[in-house]
Amino acid sequence: MTALRILALSYRCCRHPQSGGSEVNLFEQARRWTRDGHHVTVFTADPGRANAPLRDEVIDGIVVRRSGGRFTVYLHGMLFLLRHRHRFDCILDVANGIPFFSPLVTRTPGALLMNHFHDRQWFSEFPYLIAALGRFIERRVVPAVYRHWPVIAISPTTRDALVELGMDSSHIHIVYCGTIEPDPAQQIGDTRMPRIAYVGRLKQYKRLELLVRAVERLRHELPDIHLDIAGDGDAAPKIEKLITTLHLQDNVTMHGFVDEQHKARILRSATVFATPSTHEGWGLSVIEANAHGCPAVAYDVPGLRVAIRHGETGLLAADDDSFVQALAFFLKDPEARKRYSRAALAWAARFTWESCAKGTLEVLLTHGTKVRESSERGDGVSRSPARA
């Protein structure tokens, strides 16, 4: 295969303290593309020198260019694309609520990567006017701007939401995220202690306060229960305050942002993984936990109801009471936990970063080929690529 020059536009990079599943998804794929001889550049917001010592750097062969902040990164990204659009063969525009609107500034072919549809989540993260604007852009502007681009959805949940917005289902391709297979030499930790794990960003819509309150309810039956929360985000101060208010300092550990080795230790030693999120595009953290033999508990909400096979790899809760009951089920019944653990391992093994990277690349290649053929015919149906 001819080496491609790929540009990915992403809200955050892997060094950002609030990086999550979207960033893992992008960089795990990009590592495999560079390994296979492609040239990958990722444009992303600048998290500052405390998190990224160099503004521009090369990570595992990936050229990372950083500029702009939380809200200005999109303008910086469009300007970067305008200046350098002839240097790339294809573009992967990653939408985290708002994409970079690449089709407005370049004729280079590409694909829109949608991790999940935010909808009402906007209002749990931003003031009303900003949330209303973000929701309008996501629901109305994005489908119009990307109507000629293929869209990569990471789950059937995301695909169905996009179809409801009026996007052509024939343009939407499901490419599941992968997971890294744990080192066989790393044994699953001692799970006899009732231990719950959460790994992910600490955001309002993740509803971590429900998980903390669940621990408060369960500690009366299980005095040695422990919750490990790994990750960072603007909801952290609120969670820390609740832990203090409920006098759970001995039962909950806030680890902050952790590296892959630390994350693996937390998941290996957990009895159960839990996430009370209102909505996910897929639930990458669930599959990562499954890969370590850890079953999962979540609410029965979009994305998570696909990632968790209810009654096999974990349990889905209808309300707060059933969420607590599901946690207690795993914490109190070691034999049941072992059964679910075996199924979780088998389920996680179905998702690899190799197949994910291949699937995305195939979408980019297919769209690029159609654009070139259209350009050669001169029918003007699609946008033609601009090559260096």
55: alpha, beta or left, given left = phi > 0 and alpha = psi -120 to 50? alpha
Identity of residue 262: H
And the tokens for 102? 């690449």
**H or E element, residue 300:** none
> How many CA atoms, within 13 angstroms, populate the side-chain half-sphere of residue 341?
20
Closest CA to 314 of 288, 300, 295, 328: 295
CA dist 248 and 94 (Å) reads: 38
The gap between the terminal CA atoms of the chain, to the nearest Å, is 18
| 277 and 140 inside one domain | no
Shared domain for 245 and 328, answered yes or no, is yes
DSSP string, 93-106: EEEBSB---GGGT-
DSSP state of 247: T
Is 217 part of a structural domain of the chain?
yes
Q: What is the pLDDT along the chain (388 residues), one digit of tens a residue?
A: 688 999 999 999 888 877 778 899 999 999 999 999 999 999 999 999 988 999 999 999 999 999 999 889 999 999 999 999 899 999 999 998 889 999 999 999 999 999 877 778 788 778 899 989 989 999 999 999 999 999 999 988 889 989 988 899 999 999 999 988 776 655 555 556 899 999 998 988 899 999 999 999 999 999 999 999 999 888 999 999 999 999 999 999 999 988 888 999 999 999 999 999 988 888 889 999 999 999 999 999 988 999 999 999 999 999 999 999 999 999 999 999 999 999 999 999 999 999 999 999 999 998 766 655 555 555 544 433 333 3
- If one counts the domains in the chain, the total is 2
In this prediction, residue 248 carries a pLDDT of 97
Predicted confidence at residue 171, as pLDDT, reads 92
The CATH number covering residue 360 comes to 3.40.50.2000
Clarify whether residues 119 and 230 are in a common domain: no
Residues 340 and 363 in one domain: no
Contact in structure between 14 and 51 (CB atoms under 8 Å): no
Contact status, residue 166 vs residue 143, Cβ threshold 8 Å: yes
Domain that holds residue 10: 5-178+352-377
Whole-model pTM: value is 0.80
The shares of helix, strand and coil residues in the chain, as percent rounded to the nearest 5, are 45, 15, 40
Give the Cα separation of 277 and 203 in Å (integer).
Answer: 9
Q: Is residue 382 part of a domain?
A: no
- Burial degree of 317 (CB within 10 A; 0-12, 13-18, 19+): buried
